[in-house]
Amino acid sequence: MTTQVISVIQGIDQSILDEAEIALVDGVAKTGELIQTYADALSAVFNVRDANGNVIAIWPSLTGKDKKGIKARRASFVQRMILRGHVKPDGKPTATVDTYWMRVKIASGYVPRGKVSGTTDVDAKTASELKTIINRILKSEEDGQDCHASTILEELKDLYHVLTGEAHDAGK
């Protein structure tokens, strides 16, 4: 009887896991689309255009009073991210907030410093070291070790993506 109960519980757990996994994978696959949609909306509103409608300045490059509306949107974005739980105990937003904002800027055509003609030596070295750190944490998790660094693993992966434009591919 106990074996049957465990079998039923495992069957239920498997179904719950399948549903949760499908939702996660579907959500992850849509992240890029969602970022691009938001970037397109910001570009439509804030990019500076000439009389013919040609873009002469993208919103991430604006400064001074031209940036006022963008600052308000960023503040709104930060507050929404904080409400979703991306907040440190001191009430400040986590690095994830900055990571996603950078992704939106890049999707809008912004080229981060040092990326004009590919990566600089500093960027390449930093990316390599981030990859090493990420792989070290992943290996410790695979080995069953409980390390505090696991709590920042996703943020490190996000930072790697911001720096390189590529998702982290474990072990490569």
CA distance 27 to 159: 20
For the chain, the structural domain boundaries read 116-172
Reported as a single tens digit per residue, the pLDDT across 5-55 is 444 455 555 677 778 778 877 877 788 888 999 999 999 999 999 999 999
Query: What does pTM read for this prediction?
Result: 0.57
Reported as a single tens digit per residue, the pLDDT across 89-140 is 999 999 999 999 999 999 999 988 655 545 457 877 888 889 889 989 998 8
